[in-house]
């Protein structure tokens, strides 16, 4: 049985850990609010852009566009989005696991390259021969240090240029989609070749185009791809803070329960020690009498 001093040290250690996890929970909650607001503002714009593109594609043949050309699945780029830090439950492991599943189960015979956004993903794949980097992606070594549309554009253009040059036949994005603070869902979205969004209704929308439909589509498709990647990064950023807040909340609760059990053990051990001392005193007194 551990001594009273050892139990006291453990109680102190658990208390310090509980203070840290509680502080991390509050920090993540504050960051989550800002990240969630960013996602909320972005989604209507992205959805409306896809709606316009869907209405345009209904009357145009997008297969003639270079970014919509289906060349098969010979060469694939997977953009895997993780976080820079841990202590967020299964957030990073779920993305890494889904990325490996996509490669080994769905495209086992393809030449796959992995572009990692986030240090945890980089640590997982950096020693793999599939790890991908380029002078363009090296311009943004840490996207989450400055998560802006301008930096996202650099990364999106690297994927677009690689597709146009024939380096990749497919580009996928694997990331955590934000539902709420306690729920994140790992999604795999095809970025290239672009697929025309389905129209939600069959009601014809009469637009006046200036310039022509074809020119507008040429501008909209690259922009929609950049928005797709930016939205995935914002979703992942919000999901990270939500996952960390939930993980730290559970860690704090577990620390409280452990501290409670340790205090109970300490009181029992202290009571046993006092009882032993009383017995020794009584035994000594009886020995003197005899």
Give catalytic residue positions.
88
Closest CA to 18 of 238, 249, 265: 249
Closest CA to 197 of 86, 85, 92, 54: 54
- Structure tokens, 204: 């014809």
Q: In 10 A of CB 17, how many CB atoms?
A: 16
- Structure tokens, 247: 């993980």
Task: Give 199: exposed, middle or buried? Use CB within 10 Å, 0-12, 13-18, 19+.
Answer: middle
Task: Give 96: exposed, middle or buried? Use CB within 10 Å, 0-12, 13-18, 19+.
Answer: buried
Across 211-238, b (16+ Cβ under 10 Å) vs e yields: eeeeebbeebbeebbbbbbbbbbbbbbb
Closest CA to 248 of 81, 17, 36: 17
Task: Give residue 3's region: left, alpha or beta (phi > 0; psi -120 to 50).
Answer: beta
Taking the C-alpha atoms of residue 129 and residue 145, their distance in angstroms, rounded to an integer, is: 26
């Amino acid at each position: 049985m551990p001594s009273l001093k050892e139990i006291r040290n453990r109680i102190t250690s658990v208390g310090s850990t509980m203070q840290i996890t509680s502080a991390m929970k509050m920090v993540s909650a504050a960051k989550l609010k800002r990240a969630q607001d960013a996602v909320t503002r972005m989604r209507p714009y992205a959805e409306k852009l896809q709606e316009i593109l869907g209405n345009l594609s209904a009357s145009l043949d997008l297969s003639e566009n270079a970014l919509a050309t289906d060349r098969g699945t010979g060469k694939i780029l997977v953009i895997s989005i993780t976080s820079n830090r841990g202590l967020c439950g299964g957030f990073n492991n779920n993305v890494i696991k889904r990325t490996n599943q996509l490669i080994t189960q769905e495209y086992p015979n393809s030449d796959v390259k992995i572009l990692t956004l986030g240090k945890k993903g980089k640590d997982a794949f950096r020693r793999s021969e599939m790890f991908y980097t380029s002078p363009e992606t090296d311009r943004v070594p840490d996207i989450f240090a400055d998560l802006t549309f301008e930096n996202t554009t650099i990364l999106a253009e690297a994927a677009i240029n690689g597709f146009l040059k024939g380096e990749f036949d497919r580009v996928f994005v694997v990331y955590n989609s934000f539902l709420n603070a306690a729920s994140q869902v790992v999604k795999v979205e095809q970025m290239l070749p672009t697929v025309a969004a389905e129209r939600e209704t069959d009601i014809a929308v009469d637009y006046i185009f200036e310039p022509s439909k074809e020119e507008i589509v040429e501008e909209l498709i690259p922009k929609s791809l950049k928005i797709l990647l930016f939205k995935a990064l914002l979703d992942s950023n919000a999901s990270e803070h939500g996952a960390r807040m939930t993980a730290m909340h559970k860690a704090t609760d577990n620390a409280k329960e452990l501290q409670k059990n340790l205090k109970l053990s300490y009181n029992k051990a202290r009571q046993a020690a006092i009882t032993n001392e009383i017995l020794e005193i009584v035994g000594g007194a009886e020995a003197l009498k005899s």
